[in-house]
Amino acid sequence: MQIQSADELISAMGQLPSLPEIVHRLNRSLQDPRSNFNDFANIIAEDSALSAHLLKVANSALYQFPEKIDTISRAVTLIGTKQLRELVIASSVTHLFNGLPNDLVDMEQFWRHSIGCGIAAKVIAGYCRLGNTERYYLLGLLHDIGRLVLYGGYSALAIEAFRIGAEESLPLYQAEARVLGFDHSAISAALLKSWKLPVSMRDPVAHHHDPSQARYHMEDAYIVHLADAIAHAMELGRTGEACVPPLDASLSQNLNLGVAKLEPILQQVDREYEDAVSIFLLSSAGG
């Protein structure tokens, strides 16, 4: 069967990983004007692993609350509704893909890169004076997830992309486009669409290699684009790319970041990275 688009590729897969039902229940509750913080806390409390993980996040250096947070309701109140959904998805997503071929992907290294990109996106968003920086962490965490779909469901095509990339010294995403007609970023966005996640998440993920083409959330796409390059340059994990992806020529015109801010951004990413790995990967919910 000839696959024409990333949406078609996702539809053609038999068993797609899906977000836990608790994520959808929480999302519905967050959108219900009659719901309150107690409702959100009660939903999370039904999942003991997720509850323990959320408390660990709330008490980590990522938040730096002045006192110990020992209840879910307190954690939910302090974290706030805007960041709660992102944190719950981030806490759930790292175990969705199991049993992928080891010769194609080292899962720990893949998630280390994704976490590195998430931390970099969060830090960049802060320097751009944007709110709800946890959202940018999630964008970075999910930006390459389409690669896992490709490795799990279409390994022969993935191997062909690896071969072309190596033989012609192409970035892997360009080799994927040669093989498929689209790359992993389009697959990532199609997967997020199947999970019913909003276009504000899908658009930056879909265009993290070509941010100038983002239709709705271009600034966010540029943030993930730069964060991805930083994670590669700092060698935070590996995804199969043999080189640092090239930066878009119009990056500086689209992000309010001077060259002087780059060094403190790199330093902050370096400070926060291992904490994030220990929280979201080494002791993630359900793991």
CA 154 to chain centre: 21
Residues in the chain with pLDDT < 70? 1, 282-287
Residues 107 and 75 in one domain: no
How confident is the model over 174-205, as pLDDT tens digits? 999 999 999 999 999 999 999 999 999 999 99
Residues 54 and 69 in one domain: yes
The residue from 77, 97, 117 where one domain ends is 97
pLDDT at 101: 76
CB 148 within 8 A of CB 190: no
pLDDT at 282: 63
CB 44 within 8 A of CB 54: yes
pLDDT at 285: 44
pLDDT at 286: 44
- CA gap 221, 203 in Å, rounded: 7
Residues 190 and 54 in one domain: no
Which of 35, 43, 38 is closest to 74 using CA atoms?
Answer: 38
How confident is the model over 227-248, as pLDDT tens digits? 999 999 999 999 888 788 889 9
Residues 90 and 189 in one domain: no
Q: What is the pTM of this model?
A: 0.90
pLDDT at 115: 95
pLDDT at 283: 55
DSSP states of 219-273 as a string?
HHHHHHHHHHHHHHHTT-S--S-SSPPPPPTTHHHHS---GGGHHHHHHHHHHHH
pLDDT at 219: 97
Domain enclosing residue 33, as ranges: 13-97
